[in-house]
């Protein structure tokens, strides 16, 4: 996981963005706030996302626990012979 500063001076923007990079298998999250602030991007890999879900589940976050349980269920179903459809 990398934190990247975008630009060197503060300016006003009011939206966030998600930028997938399929070539490098990363997702960039750009955080922009309406206050005067510099923009930053966090580059995440799928492994980073999995680690975040584990950490949030350890903090008893219900959505993270649900994701972890759903993933475990899917793994068990595949081991039992289930093939997911598109």
Contact by Cβ (8 Å): 57, 65:
yes
Structural domain of residue 40, as residue ranges?
Answer: 2-79
pLDDT digit string (tens) for 51-77? 889 988 999 999 999 999 999 999 999
pTM check: above 0.75:
no
Share of the chain above pLDDT 70, in %: 55
Residue 85 lies in a domain: no
pLDDT higher than threshold 70 for residue 2: no
Angle at 53 between CA 52 and CA 58, to 5 degrees: 95
Domains of the chain: total: 1
4-25 confidence digits (pLDDT tens): 666 655 444 545 566 667 777 6
**Residue 84 falls inside a structural domain:** no
Query: For residue 69, is it within any domain?
Result: yes
State the Cα–Cα distance between residues 10 and 33, nearest whole angstrom.
Answer: 11
Rounded CA-CA distance 8/28 in Å is 19
Please check whether residue 86 lies inside any domain of the structure.
no
Q: Would you tell me the crossing angle of helices 46-58 and 62-79 to the nearest 10 degrees? A: 120
**Within a domain: 54:** yes
């Amino acid at each position: 996981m990398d934190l990247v500063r975008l630009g060197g001076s503060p300016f006003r923007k009011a939206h966030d963005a998600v930028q997938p990079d399929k070539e490098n298998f990363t997702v960039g999250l750009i955080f922009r706030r309406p206050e005067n602030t510099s923009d930053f991007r966090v580059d995440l890999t799928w492994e980073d996302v999995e680690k975040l879900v584990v950490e949030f589940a350890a903090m008893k976050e219900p959505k993270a626990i649900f994701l972890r349980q759903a993933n475990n269920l899917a793994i068990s179903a595949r081991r039992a012979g289930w093939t997911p459809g598109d």
